[in-house]
């Protein structure tokens, strides 16, 4: 956990689409669900230590019942840690802002998979309306704050919120972390004229904009230089001068709670799963491969299946000696592109298994459901190879989860060079998922790698990971925000 002593006189107000605690009606009454993911794990103790306010969409069926008339409640449940401010959305708002512009327009555009890009004026109009709704909720919490606030916006759902907060004269440092890739100007221009510029001006409402990699940061600066003519870019210092202000751009690769994953991989349940998987699929010289993904077109699942099929076709000796466990979690099935991908994945798995199976062996074992964290940790620990074939990916934390759980240091990470993690992790076998021959060779190389080389590579990656946990990420971001406040506070009372 980062040192929060410098926050002793400040309130951290965080804005995200997803909430840290969700209330739902269950068979035995109202259940509390804490969404999975490292962000909540990292931020929860910091929010409690600073008595912060988390503003988010109240998406649970019982959320309104558990909050006051303004959507506010204290969390964690049964404790008095920090305030959760729920913003409630209508079905039309969810359809236009979230399913529409966020996930049919921005998501494919930022991942440069333009064949899935869909723009509609009503999506954009609703995105603006909902961003304004959340901005007013944040502004209200700023006014309530008895201490100087810092506003931290999360991700692409709120590209307009910072500028809106500035128009509301919010007296706070405002910064934003962009969790997905940021595209070059030629891709962003696929948005209608004026919409692309509005998105950039929205982000320039921040005092600091944060990205995973230098490439995304430079793409952002390039877009601003091309589409916001009055903005001045300083590429050397990663800054923008605009509207009489300086906007800093920072590079902060996100990570995971390494210690938690190591503990999960060592539980009795995980250890028992490791033994079962190794005995069933990886005894007597056999190898077990693993893929863990949401069913999302950015993850390169069809490309991965084609490469595996080609591997077993070209190298018959790999049949019955190499099994691939595909954990594919359903995702956004309301969207046609995701339903089509799911159908393609299921059909391809059946086809490959029918083509190569024997009486005692199926090449692909598909787990098409949500899997608990400890079971995932066991699968990560058991695998000889983890295959990540993202076509574009902001970071890809599966890569880091696999490394953390590889306590025996037996596995090889085969990683797409188009995942942000590839720019940080040193020791993976890098592949291009668009190059079928190279992809097949990368898998073959990983499977034939000597035990000594596997251990050296994994040991190096694990050592790197221990130095770059999600808590180090959080500390770096918040320290940078504090430094900006210290630089600017003498010249204005804003921060």
* Domains, in order of start, for the chain: 5-254+471-488 (3.40.50.2000), 260-467 (3.40.50.2000)
Using a pLDDT cut of 70, give the percent of the chain over it.
97
Which pLDDT score, from 0 to 100, does residue 3 have?
54
- Contact call for residues 158 and 19 (beta carbons, < 8 A): no
Is residue 469 within 8 A of residue 401, CB to CB? The reply is: no
What does the alpha-carbon distance between residue 53 and residue 489 come to, in Å, rounded to a whole number?
Answer: 23
CB 231 within 8 A of CB 225: yes
| Cα atoms found within 13 Å of the Cα of residue 299, Cβ hemisphere only | 24
Residue corresponding to tokens 């069809």: 302
pLDDT at 42: 76
Residue whose pair of structure tokens reads 């998979």 in the numeric block: 113
- Contacts of residue 21, defined as CB under 8 A and 6 or more positions apart, other chains included, come to 32, 33, 34, 75, 76, 77, 84
Look at residue 282 in the predicted model and tell me its pLDDT.
Answer: 93
Predicted pLDDT of residue 97: 98
Cβ-based burial of 133 (10 A; exposed 0-12, middle 13-18, buried ≥19):
middle
pLDDT mean over 450-464:
97
State residue 493's pLDDT score.
47
- Whether residue 229 has pLDDT greater than 50: yes
Q: Categorise residue 51: left if φ over 0, alpha if ψ from -120 to 50, beta otherwise.
A: left
Q: Give per-residue pLDDT as tens, 13-61.
A: 999 999 999 999 988 889 998 876 667 777 888 888 888 999 999 999 9
- pLDDT of amino acid 423: 94
How many angstroms separate the CA atoms of 455 and 239, rounded?
41
What average pLDDT score do residues 454-465 get? Answer: 98
Q: What is the mean pLDDT of residues 123-148?
A: 96
The Cβ-side half-sphere exposure at 397, using a 13 Å CA radius, reads 20
Q: Above 50 in pLDDT, residue 160?
A: yes
pLDDT in tens, 200-212: 999 999 999 999 9
Signed CA dihedral, 177, 179, 181, 187: sign only: negative
Give the model's pLDDT for residue 39. Answer: 74
Highest-confidence segment of 4-8, 28-32, 37-41, 153-157: 153-157
Of 31-40, 154-163, 210-219, 322-331, the least confident: 31-40
pLDDT for the residue 490: 60
- CB atoms closer than 10 angstroms to residue 435: 13
3-state secondary structure the chain: CCCCHHHCCEEEEEECCCCCCEEEEECCEEEEECCCCHHHHHHHHHHHHCCCEEEEECCCCCHHHHCCCCCEEEECCCCCCEEEEEECCCHHHHHHHHHHHHHHHHHHHHCCCHHHCCCCHHHHHHHHHHHHHHHHHHHHHHHHCCCEEEEEEECHHHCCHHHHHHHCCCCCEEEEECCCCCCCHHHHCCCCCCHHHHHHHHHCCCCEEEECCHHHHHHHHHHHHHHCCCCEEECCCCEEEECCEEEEEEECCCCCCHHHHHHHHCCHHHHHHHHHHHHHHCCCCCEEEEEEEECCHHHCHHHHHHHHHHHHHHCHHHCCCEEEEEEEECCCCCCHHHHHHHHHHHHHHHHHHHHHCCCCCCCEEEECCCCCHHHHHHHHHHCCEEEECCCCECCCCHHHHHHHHCCCCCCEEEEECCEHHHHCCCCCEEECCCCHHHHHHHHHHHHHCCHHHHHHHHHHHHHHHHCCCHHHHHHHHHHHHHHHHHHHCCCCCCC
Query: Terminus-to-terminus CA distance in the chain, angstroms?
Result: 24
């Amino acid at each position: 956990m980062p040192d929060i002593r410098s926050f002793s006189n400040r309130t951290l107000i965080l804005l995200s689409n997803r909430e840290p605690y969700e209330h739902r009606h269950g068979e035995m009454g109202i259940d509390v669900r804490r969404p999975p993911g490292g962000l909540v794990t990292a931020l929860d103790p910091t929010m409690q230590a600073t008595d912060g306010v988390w503003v988010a969409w109240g998406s649970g069926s019982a959320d309104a019942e558990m909050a006051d008339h303004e959507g506010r409640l204290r969390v964690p449940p049964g404790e008095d840690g920090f305030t959760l401010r729920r913003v409630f959305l209508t079905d039309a708002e969810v359809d236009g802002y979230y399913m529409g512009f966020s996930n049919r327009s921005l998501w494919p555009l930022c991942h440069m998979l333009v064949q899935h890009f869909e723009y509609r004026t009503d999506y954009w109009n609703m995105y603006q309306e909902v961003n304004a709704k959340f901005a007013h909720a944040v502004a209200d919490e700023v006014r309530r704050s008895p201490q100087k606030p810092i506003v931290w916006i999360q991700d692409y759902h709120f590209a307009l919120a910072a500028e809106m907060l500035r128009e509301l004269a919010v007296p706070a440092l405002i910064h934003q972390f962009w969790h997905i890739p940021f595209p070059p100007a030629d891709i962003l221009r696929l948005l209608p004229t004026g919409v692309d510029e509005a998105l950039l001006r929205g982000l320039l409402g921040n005092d600091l904009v944060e990205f995973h990699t230098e490439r995304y940061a430079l793409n952002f600066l390039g877009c601003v230089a091309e589409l916001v003519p009055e903005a001045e870019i300083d590429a050397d210092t990663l800054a923008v001068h605009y509207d009489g202000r300086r906007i800093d751009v920072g590079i902060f690769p996100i990570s995971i709670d390494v210690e938690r994953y190591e503990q999960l991989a060592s539980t009795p349940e995980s250890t028992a799963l490791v033994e079962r998987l190794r005995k069933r699929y990886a005894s007597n010289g056999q190898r077990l491969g693993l893929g863990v993904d949401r069913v999302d077109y950015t993850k390169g699942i069809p490309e991965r299946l084609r490469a595996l099929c080609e591997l077993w076709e070209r190298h018959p000796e790999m049949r019955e000696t190499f099994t691939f466990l595909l954990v594919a979690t359903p995702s956004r099935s309301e969207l046609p592109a995701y339903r089509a991908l799911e159908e393609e994945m299921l059909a391809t798995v059946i086809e490959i298994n029918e083509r190569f199976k024997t009486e005692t062996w199926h090449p692909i074992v598909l787990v098409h459901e949500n899997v608990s964290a400890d079971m995932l940790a066991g699968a990560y620990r058991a695998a000889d190879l983890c295959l990540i074939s993202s076509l574009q990916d902001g970071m890809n934390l599966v890569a880091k989860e696999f490394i953390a759980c590889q306590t025996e240091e037996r596995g090889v990470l085969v990683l797409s060079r188009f995942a942000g993690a590839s720019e940080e992790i040193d020791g993976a076998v890098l592949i291009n998922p668009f190059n079928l021959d190279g992809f097949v060779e990368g898998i073959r190389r990983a499977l034939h790698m000597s035990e000594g080389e596997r251990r050296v590579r994994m040991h190096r990656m694990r050592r790197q990971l221990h130095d770059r946990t999600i808590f180090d990420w959080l500390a770096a971001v918040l320290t940078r925000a504090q430094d900006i406040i210290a630089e600017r506070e003498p010249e204005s009372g804003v921060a």
